[in-house]
Amino acid sequence: MMSLALGTAPQARGNWDLYPDLRSSTPILTYHDVIERREADSLWFDCSVDELEGQLDWLTKRGANFVTVDQIFDHLASGRVLPKNAIAISFADGYEGFYLRAVPILRRKHVPAAMFIHTDYVGDRHGRPKMTWQQIEELDREGLVTICSQTRTHPADLRTLDDRRLAEEMGGSKRVLEHKLGHSVRYLAYPNGKFDLRVAKAAQAAGYAMAFTERLTPAERSPNRFMVSRYVHTKYRLAWSDAGR
């Protein structure tokens, strides 16, 4: 079942630092495209239907409580207590494979997830098809999937952009998502996990509440709320072990 945060949240502190004295260890996984089956030409970051099912079942058998990205934010910002063995699931790049293959699994298992979208390529049919706005809006209305930003064009390395372009990549994506969905979009993931302090400050200036990297540590060991760690999905056993489970 979808887990709810426990306890009463104290007042949030500032808009950058983690809440002090967080004692839990919460891993966040990130997936990319979900494919029907693994073939010789499949990419390392692809995840097949069987692999996704197997990983979620492996975690569930060990007592995982799947929490939302909002719960992660409330935990890191305000100290709200998470359920025992909490873990969060995210997906990147807005692939249609997520909608067609992952979402039915998430629905059946009642597993919430975050999806990070680069908005300039919504509906693109070149190469691997991307989700359409209709599909994204459907998921947003349903509520199981939290729609988040991954910039406008998914630059290979945000650190190489000048300040103007960096601001537009982040702010432009946020504005488009909020216009389409009709509500605030609070979270960002750095494409390819590449960032530095200037990039993190730009995410904060664009109005996000939290941003995610691909550093391999539990969320509570992140430097701040704009450098929140996530494990690539192939490291799910390491993520579980690093959380002391």
Q: Per-residue pLDDT tens for 147-166? A: 999 999 999 999 999 999 99
Q: Is the pLDDT of residue 1 over 90?
A: no
Read off the pLDDT of residues 70-118 as tens digits, 9 standing for 90 and up: 999 999 999 999 999 999 999 999 999 999 999 999 999 999 999 999 9
| Residue 118 vs residue 40, higher pLDDT | 118
Specify whether the backbone of 19 is left (phi greater than 0), alpha (psi in -120 to 50) or beta: beta
Supply the pLDDT for residue 11: 38
Which 8-state DSSP code applies to residue 102? I
pLDDT band of 17, cuts 50, 70, 90: very high
User: Which pLDDT belongs to residue 14?
Assistant: 45
What pLDDT shows up at residue 40?
76
Q: Tell me the fold of 28-37+44-242.
A: TIM Barrel (3.20.20)
H-helix or E-strand spanning residue 169: helix 163-181
Q: Report CA dihedral (153, 154, 158, 163) to the nearest 10 degrees.
A: 20
Distance CA 34, CA 48 (A): 5
**pTM higher than 0.85, yes or no?**
yes
161-180 residue pLDDT tens = 999 999 999 999 999 999 99
DSSP string computed for 116-141: EE-GGGTT--SSSPBPPHHHHHHHHH
